[in-house]
Structure 1
């Protein structure tokens, strides 16, 4: 298995420079291990040795990047089943690096501030800094070394697609998914969840701070990365100094249906805004829907452009400029239907690449599973079911309109609308997306399964306070009988600061507030309606300055 997994991760460009130092295997770094089964609190079972190497290193503009590849357990519950290659890109200001560190990698001590970035998704890799800009630049200016970690199954960390998953399965003696070996692949795919992601992070922290394994670091999470931050705080709070989150506070304790009821509400609001801004698109959208329903449209990669797939373009509503982007697509598509009677290759390619489901299959497979916290919970295609509920079917289900397609009044009546959907996964996707088609049986198994690991520990999160001052204030206000009472000796002090977007389509504001008020000890929050979910990129300076201010207690 190890040689195969090394091959799967070899998409990383290996430098031929003799200056790169192959770090090899750490043989004298035994760590006390703890095991867990799939339904209990995840605790790392560390192997007796942990290997890593630097597979690339280079200067670009005013930063220096090292690409570290770590060999970590595929299954933390049973490391004997093999390892997986996980990659982290470590970035410093070039002026902070030395000749020795550039060739052999930096040596981290208690004086170093490391900030590990957890990307959103699930299923998307972190970026690679090409200059001192964006949020990475803001962190570098604050003296941090930044660790951009590609979560397992993404980017350079054994990316998952059909052929790579089959290769992993083959090493475990599994047959093809198509051969009904779904249960084994279900257990395999589960090791790409937040608990394993955070176990990877904790392993990496201990390796980087090998001279002082108790040294803390900081983490920053965007969107799903913020969910992972809560997993980290749940199970390894003593490893964390600071936590920054942007649009990433999950609705802990809420059901999957609670999440998607809120998502549909936000999506209705965004559709209403869209059609108010572009009322001419009401008719255009219905004309496109009618065309797609009556015609089999094949995309350049062999996928199908159905009504349901076109509606999914509404996922873009959640980012700044998304409304205008969708308008441009609708206008162009409709104009081509009027001119040629079909959509051009260029437009079909645009639709095909509009969303990341083909290239990031975990995003489709785990879209609802990320809300399953512990055994006894199942998603059962929540978004798909709620689409056909009494409150939503007239707006989102094309089946409600089919019988009216030939009625001119239906097309001209602006009070009748077909809405775009949002960040949701539907059964039809595993027929429509070419790269998802082989995963259809696995997707159904994921949505019906109810044996999931715990990804949060509310009892620990209740103990997380941003400062002793806040703890004493809250302790005075809580009744003596309150279950939220925490003994002083149990308090975990972690500076946690979060940006919360009031109009966030993807991570509902009210669900985030529920977690802050009911699940956490205390965190510092910056709430704004100025940005959407992508505020970290759309308003980098504003968001990062506010978060730094919260960390420094400069904001009253």
Structure 2
């Protein structure tokens, strides 16, 4: 039997001659869009959280103040028998073993009759979305009394309006607002052109507000010097679009020079584009919501931020593809049935870039030639954010166990630092001017450094020793500028410069038409003893361990101007689907994905479910010790194994 998983071991011999080149099967480029029926619900209020329609917003100062840090005059004590009755959740039974993980599809099956993908182990439905030949929207009936004022859905207007959600087939080509021009390149190794495109903020409203998309095209190296200009390069070579992690990160061309060299040698032209709302594209920052907040139009701010999830990122990239197609092949008519004849992207998605790639594959497969993923197998089969965070917390618990195994003395130091920060109601503003603060809770989010492996554990250990020496042992208040600067470097969320990461981080897991995240990472973490106390802001008694959190965004981390609006986004339930599971079962585009067993940001077991759900997807398992960032740390080996 064929298998989804290809794994190379350290002992593998490569001395028996050259490996036979991999032969990709012919790709069926038919890209007809399946139609589907979606169930969706209104925004659901959370306790003590008001709602206002965007047409008549009302400020709620008392709720705004409740979102700020809650400094208590008395100290709550966390214990194993808290009064809320919650019990520690034990480790879930291990998922199917490697031997039991059987392939239902392999690359050799691309273009053959479809088979039925595997379902999640728990037997629950995949997303709550049913597909049919009908485009009619089925809306759940609401019992009386009528609901409170609702936040307008940006994709679905009231039935009386006569408009529908945007189609995936009516995307118009982007407009070039700045013709390609050379970009300064410090080492002058690559030939680079910068292009600025303009696309609609809402693609189903082409006459409405527009935003800019910044892109950089690497089409050759000066040493290679094959092409006279970017036009001849793009006509002669496949274009690979690199999709970076996120959400909310910029996508510069010079982050991984070795990757550029390898891809150019393999004959690719590389396109780097800053996603909407990031980098040098039209950016979302505090100014983007200040005008809304100043008038109390928090619902309007939420509506605006909802437009920056990966579904619209994909629409932007498709508009760019159509634009380049028009300029590179002006006399070749486009064929709507396969999304054009001139250009088909090859996608390489790292981390969140894989989420973007799988959305692209779901709705516009005819625009793609191949897809490569690294630590980017989005959990398309999960039931929502809670299932994802249950898996990630299990992995983080294992990482914390290793941390205390390596540094057993830190159990007491971590607890004492946390209690000191909590009992004195301390909040130290960082010297970088970002507005971020070192508090009892933000201190325990440093587990995000664990994603980098043992080097990350060591960095946190060294900082814990420095902070404990000043804050607890020597009562240095505030800590020195050097210690606060070190915390600034270790705290990897940096939401002051990329607020979309915090606003949309849980939304990227909401593929279900009626699932609200409702601060899932916070809720799920409280099920575990080692997290429960500090997530509730309670004093932790002697002998009780504290665990660091990882790739989890907590309300405490959000910049002040985004706290209320991010709460509204967290309560939203009627999300646009991110994946077409029926289309993925029929996929004909070759997909190869690198996954890591010890990845703390993308769960390996959920990744295997995604492999089963996407026909023709092949998983390549990274070497032992590799982690989420191995594309940067082990670039050559990762690309070799992928290709």
Whether TM-score is above 0.5 comes out as yes
Residues 131-162 of structure 1 deviation map (CA, whole Å, 9 limit, x = unaligned)? 8x322222112111111111111111112111
Equivalent residue number for residue 453 of structure 1: 576
* Structure 1 residue 55 displacement after superposition: 5.5
Alignment of 1:254-265 (within 5 A): 254=382, 255-265=384-394
Secondary structure at the aligned position of 2:204 is classed as: coil
Partner of 2:566: 443
Q: Measure the CA separation in 1 of the matches of 2:402 and 2:294.
A: 43
Q: Give the Å deviation of 1:232.
A: 0.7
Q: Equivalent residue for 1:206?
A: 322
1:175-324 matched pairs, under 5 angstroms: 175-210=291-326, 211=329, 213-214=340-341, 215-254=343-382, 255-295=384-424, 296-299=426-429, 300=431, 301=433, 302-320=435-453, 321-324=455-458
Alignment partner, residue 470 of structure 1: none
SS, match of residue 89 in structure 1: strand
Aligned CA distance change for structure 1 residues 130 and 379 (closer, same or farther; 3 Å): closer
Residues 461/324 of structure 1: CA separation in 2 closer, same or farther (3 Å cut): same
In the TM superposition, 1:457-476 aligns within 5 A as 457-464=580-587
Per-residue CA deviation, residues 289-338 of structure 1 (Å, 9 max, x unaligned), is 12211232321334332111111111111124211121121122122233
Question: Are residue 58 (structure 1) and residue 184 (structure 2) matched?
Answer: yes
Q: Tell me the residue number matched to 1:419.
A: 547
Which whole-Å CA distance do the structure 2 matches of 1:48 and 1:138 have between them? 30
SS of equivalent residue, structure 2 residue 211 = strand
Show the counterpart of 1:483. Answer: none
Query: Matched residue of 2:500: which SS?
Result: helix
TM value normalised by structure 2:
0.67
Match of 1:21 in 2: none
| Aligned-residue offset at 1:109 | 4.9
Contact 2:591 2:618 in 1 (8 A): yes
SS of corresponding position for 1:422: coil
Distance 1:309 1:460, change over 3 A: same
Structure 2 match to 1:514: 609
**What are the residue-to-residue correspondences of 1:351-366 with 2, within 5 Å?**
351-353=487-489, 354-355=491-492, 356-366=494-504
Query: How far is the alpha carbon of 1:217 from its aligned partner?
Result: 2.0
Distance 1:161 1:526, change over 3 A: same
Q: Is the 8 A contact 2:533 2:539 kept in 1?
A: no
Cα offset, 1:121, TM superposition: 0.9
Aligned position for 1:539: 634
C-alpha distance in 1 between matches for 2:638 and 2:540: 47
Which of 260, 268, 280 pairs up with 1:156?
A: 280
Report the counterpart of residue 143 of structure 1 in structure 2.
267
1:117 corresponds to: 242
- CA gap of 1:308–1:228, structure 2 versus 1, over 3 A, is same
**Displacement after TM superposition at 1:56 (Å):** 4.7
**CA shift at 1:41, angstroms?**
7.0
Tell me the CA shift for residue 113 of structure 1. Answer: 1.4
* Cα 1:317–1:461 shift into 2, 3 Å: same
Gaps of 5+ in 2: 1-32, 36-134, 136-153, 157-164, 333-339
In the alignment, structure 1 segments of 5+ residues that lack a partner are: 1-32, 167-174, 431-435, 465-491, 549-556
Q: Which has the higher helix share?
A: 1
Asked if 1 retains the 8 angstrom alpha-carbon contact of 2:289 and 2:561, the reply is no
**1:314 aligned counterpart, secondary structure:** helix
Which 4+ residue blocks in structure 1 deviate beyond 6 angstroms? none
After TM superposition, the structure 1 stretch with the greater mean CA deviation from structure 2, 48-57 or 342-351, is 48-57
Contact 1:315–1:422 at 8 Å: present in 2 too?
Answer: yes
3-state secondary structure, aligned to 2:183: strand
Q: 2:621 aligns with which of 499, 522, 527?
A: 527
Matched, 1:68 2:185: no
Partner of 2:524: 386
* Residues 220-246 of structure 1: per-residue CA shift (max 9 Å, x gap): 000000011100101111111111100
**Which residue is 1:332 aligned to?**
466
Report Cα offsets for 1:233-265 as digits up to 9, x if no partner.
Answer: 011111111111000011113111000001110
RMSD (Å) for aligned C-alpha atoms: 2.5
1:87-98 equivalences under 5 Å are 87-91=214-218, 92-95=220-223
User: Match for 2:204 among 77, 82, 88?
Assistant: 77
**2:526 and 2:535 in contact (8 A); partners too:** no
Q: Distance in 1 between matches of 2:617 and 2:276?
A: 28
User: If the length of structure 1 is used for normalisation, what is the TM-score?
Assistant: 0.78
Q: Is the 8 A contact 1:125 1:151 kept in 2?
A: yes
Deviations 1:353-402 (CA, angstroms, capped at 9, x unpaired): 4222221101111110001115312101111111222xx13445227895
What is the 5 A alignment of 1:333-352?
A: 333-337=467-471, 338-339=473-474, 341-342=476-477, 343-352=479-488
Q: Supply the distance in 1 between the matched residues of 2:412 and 2:609 (Cα, whole angstroms).
A: 39
Asked if the contact 1:270–1:317 (Cα under 8 Å) also holds between the matched residues in 2, the reply is yes
Q: Which of the pair has the greater relative contact order for Cα pairs under 8 Å at 6+ separation? A: 2
Bigger shift: residues 86-95 or 220-229: 86-95
How many residue pairs align between the two structures?
460
